[in-house]
Amino acid sequence: MQEIIKKKSLKIEPNLKNYDEMYKKFKWGEVKDEIEWFDTKLNAAYNAVDRHVKKHGNKIALYWEGENKTEKYTFSKLSELSNKFANVLTRLGIKKGDRVFIFLPRIPALYISFLGILKTGAIAGTMFAAFGPQGIKDRLQDSGAKVLITDSELKKRVYEIRNELPKLKHLIIVGETEKEEISYEEEMKKASPEFEIEKTSPKDYAFMLYTSGTTGKPKGVVHVHQSIIQEHITAKWVLDLHEDDIYWCTADPGWVTGVAYGILGPWSNTITSVVFEGRFDAEKWYSILEKYKISVWYTAPTAIRMLMAAGDELPKKYDLSNLRHICSVGEPLNPEAIRWGMKVFNLPIHDNWWQTETGGILIANYPSIPIKLGSMGKPLPGIKAVIVNNQGNELPEGKEGNLAIKSPWPSMMCEIWKNPKKYNSYFKKNWYITGDLAFKDKDDYFWFVGRADDIIKTAGERIGPFEVESALVDHPAIVEAGVIGKPDPMRGEIVKAFVVLKKDYKPSKELEEEIKEFVKKRLAGHAYPREISFVESLPKTRSGKVVRRLLKKLILGEELGDISTLANPECIEKIKQVLQKQ
Ligand code: PRX
């Protein structure tokens, strides 16, 4: 039985008042004028910030809550500072199409430099501050970035791989500098606040994010300037942002959510945003909701589950009366979390669905439609979502299959950086195949079932098993590794590794900890295996490929099916024994 929340009693200002009617008649051309054009051209950064200066220059765009201090920036100030940064880049010879990467914690310089890069017409690449040297190298090498903006702490990781990055010409450092490094503060002081913003075409490249697939290194997903149209309209319709809202997107811009809904979408709607530099902490989070009188909050299921774990008494200590709309994305939002939201905030949490590749929200629970607990919601007007079989043929309601979207839409990725084969592999018969399995019900609500591949989602972060396996086999004790996502009540999934040790090494708790640290430092703080099983061998096909699917079935205790085609079926019993002992 489907559990439905009708929101008549709640004071949510309805957007998309009549969803069904709007869905039927909507054409993208209708919202073209929501953003500002230079004739047939547009620039996403100009739309996010500069166009508001005349009427709303003194409005606060950013409240920044740092670890030890706070700052605030008006739209005028953001416009001026990002102009300055664009001048800094221009002086360094950066031109349209060049890649400029940002490797910073969530400090104002991250947001300013992102906008400045877009103003020059260069492509902005963002990276989590949690990345280790390997993660940084993969991204900077593949993109051929010319400039990296980082800080005096994080740069240490960059120097470990600096000489493997011949295309990286300049390091701009926030904080103390040495040798040939360029000081962010000094350059910004000198730079002019006037800048002639590049009049980019709608399809000119604006930003890129590296994201994981099942095989190989992370891929560079590139987005165009016109993605702002979709980010603007979804910030309005799904996040329900209105002029007097104070909005908090908890996502880091190393993740596409932090770019599309932490920078472009909300600012394009002239919204005051809050950015918190620190990590998750239940008390701190509630105190931010109270202090800034947050009215709209965009977060993720793991964070909600962590707040649930902190107890129902804690939120009662805070004045959360300004909160009126909560949204969540990135992994399945369990009905339990929505019920909890109703109990604690007297508000339902609105799940929505999208991907790095889609550049913006595509399926959502809108403020104006009832929520079916556990469903991702309904397609955005202008978006046709269907379920198809592996041949690309549409399946009827109730049937599980591949979630597919009719291509294109304004914020659809335009390229997998220098990898047309990978890009083309996403499309079948005009459908963009998402890689997710889902079904739709009779009311056109979509329900997430799982991934069609081995991608791991841990605390909302997307992690490719191959990257973790590669980092693991670089450890001197490890011969081979198989990595999967193991269901976890808090994080959705955790990274679980099965490793085979070289013959001089013995499994031990110490070695396990050492391996975890090794991956954490090398790859990324969030991508290390939280659980490791030492096994004698891994299940392999006759061509030598590790069969991750079987490892997953083993930890889930599911039927394995026919294993006779494996090169080493005898390993299965041994792995079972290891798992039983753990
Ligand atoms: O598997 C789906 C899951 O996250 C994937 C996209 O990951 P990423 O590119 O990191 O996301 C960026 C912006 C959200 C999807 O293929 N996912 C996303 N939203 C949901 C979800 N799974 C279930 N429910 C959701 N609402």
Task: Fill in the DSSP letter of residue 375.
Answer: -
Instruction: Verify that 230 and 330 share a domain, yes or no.
Output: yes
**358: CA distance to ligand 1 center in Å?**
10
Q: Return the amino acid letter for 42.
A: L
Instruction: Return the pLDDT at 216.
Output: 80
Cis peptide before 253 (omega within 30 of 0): no
Instruction: Verify that 379 and 406 share a domain, yes or no.
Output: yes
Instruction: Return the pLDDT at 1.
Output: 60
Instruction: Verify that 315 and 194 share a domain, yes or no.
Output: yes
Domain membership of residue 429 (yes or no) is yes
Instruction: Verify that 342 and 490 share a domain, yes or no.
Output: no
Cβ 404 vs Cβ 431: under 8 Å:
yes
Give the pair of three-digit tokens for residue 415. 């390229």
* Angstrom distance (rounded) from CA 302 to CA 280: 10
Assess whether pLDDT exceeds 60 at residue 307. yes
Weakest mean pLDDT among 42-56, 59-73, 244-258, 558-572: 558-572
**More reliable by pLDDT, 86 or 526:** 86
CA angle 366, 371, 374 (to 5 degrees): 115
Domain membership of residue 244 (yes or no) is yes
* Angstrom distance (rounded) from CA 52 to CA 63: 17
Assess whether pLDDT exceeds 60 at residue 335. yes
* Angstrom distance (rounded) from CA 520 to CA 495: 12
**468: CA distance to ligand 1 center in Å?**
20
Tell me the average pLDDT across 496-517. 96
Domain membership of residue 448 (yes or no) is no
Cβ 149 vs Cβ 187: under 8 Å:
no
Domain membership of residue 451 (yes or no) is no
Name the percent of the chain lying above pLDDT 90.
92
Instruction: Verify that 22 and 99 share a domain, yes or no.
Output: yes
Q: Residue 508: phi, psi to the nearest 5?
A: -160, 165
Assess whether pLDDT exceeds 80 at residue 14. no
Alpha-helical (H) ranges within 255-400 are 256-259, 265-268, 282-291, 301-309, 335-345
The residue whose CA has the least distance to atom 4 of ligand 1 is: 330
Cβ 48 vs Cβ 264: under 8 Å:
yes
Instruction: Verify that 536 and 431 share a domain, yes or no.
Output: no
CA angle 570, 571, 574 (to 5 degrees): 105
Tell me the average pLDDT across 51-80. 97
pLDDT tens sequence across 204-231: 999 999 998 777 889 999 999 999 999 9
Q: How far is CA 122 from CA 44, 97, 412, in A?
A: 12, 5, 19
Tell me the average pLDDT across 46-60. 98
The residue whose CA has the least distance to atom 7 of ligand 1 is: 355
Domain membership of residue 449 (yes or no) is no
The residue whose CA has the least distance to atom 6 of ligand 1 is: 355
pLDDT band at 542; cut points 50, 70, 90: confident
Q: Among the three residues 440, 473, 506, which one is the final residue of a domain in this structure? A: 440
Cβ 303 vs Cβ 283: under 8 Å:
no
Give the pair of three-digit tokens for residue 114. 């992102």
Instruction: Verify that 24 and 159 share a domain, yes or no.
Output: yes
Domain membership of residue 511 (yes or no) is yes
Q: Residue 328: phi, psi to the nearest 5?
A: -145, 150
| Pocket probe mutation, ligand 1, options 222, 349, 355, max atoms within 8 Å of Cβ | 355
Q: How far is CA 456 from CA 211, 302, 483, 485, 574, in A?
A: 12, 14, 9, 5, 25
Tell me the CATH number at 546: 3.30.300.30
Q: Among the three residues 382, 411, 440, which one is the final residue of a domain in this structure? A: 440
Give the pair of three-digit tokens for residue 168. 């990286």
pLDDT band at 324; cut points 50, 70, 90: very high
Tell me the average pLDDT across 337-351. 95
Total Cβ atoms within 10 A of residue 271: 24
Q: Among the three residues 379, 406, 440, which one is the final residue of a domain in this structure? A: 440
Q: Is 390 helix (H, G, I), strand (E, B) or coil?
A: coil
Domain membership of residue 86 (yes or no) is yes
Cβ 459 vs Cβ 302: under 8 Å:
yes
Give the pair of three-digit tokens for residue 122. 């260069």
Atom number, ligand 1, closest to the C-alpha of residue 434: 16
Total Cβ atoms within 10 A of residue 59: 15
Instruction: Verify that 337 and 423 share a domain, yes or no.
Output: yes
Tell me the average pLDDT across 22-27. 95
Tell me the average pLDDT across 161-167. 97
**436: CA distance to ligand 1 center in Å?**
9
* 279 contact partners, CB below 8 Å, separation of at least 6: none
Within a 13 Å sphere around the CA of 502, how many CA atoms are in the beta-carbon half? 10
* Angstrom distance (rounded) from CA 327 to CA 348: 9
Give the pair of three-digit tokens for residue 228. 């702002």
User: Can you give the pTM of this predicted structure?
Assistant: 0.95
What's the mean pLDDT when you consider all of the chain?
A: 95
pLDDT tens sequence across 360-405: 999 999 999 999 999 999 999 999 999 999 999 999 999 999 999 9
**469: CA distance to ligand 1 center in Å?**
22
Cβ 401 vs Cβ 387: under 8 Å:
yes
Instruction: Return the pLDDT at 4.
Output: 83
* Angstrom distance (rounded) from CA 216 to CA 210: 12
* Angstrom distance (rounded) from CA 20 to CA 273: 31
Cis peptide before 202 (omega within 30 of 0): no
Total Cβ atoms within 10 A of residue 510: 8
Total tally of structural domains belonging to the chain: 2
Q: Return the amino acid letter for 520.
A: K
CA angle 197, 201, 204 (to 5 degrees): 95
Assess whether pLDDT exceeds 70 at residue 16. yes
Domain membership of residue 450 (yes or no) is no
Instruction: Verify that 92 and 49 share a domain, yes or no.
Output: yes
Instruction: Verify that 144 and 219 share a domain, yes or no.
Output: yes
Instruction: Verify that 134 and 197 share a domain, yes or no.
Output: yes
CA gyration radius, the chain: 24
Instruction: Verify that 174 and 62 share a domain, yes or no.
Output: yes
Domain holding 200, by residue range, is: 4-440
Atom number, ligand 1, closest to the C-alpha of residue 354: 14
pLDDT band at 8; cut points 50, 70, 90: low
Tell me the CATH number at 427: 3.40.50.12780
The residue whose CA has the least distance to atom 13 of ligand 1 is: 355
* Angstrom distance (rounded) from CA 523 to CA 185: 29
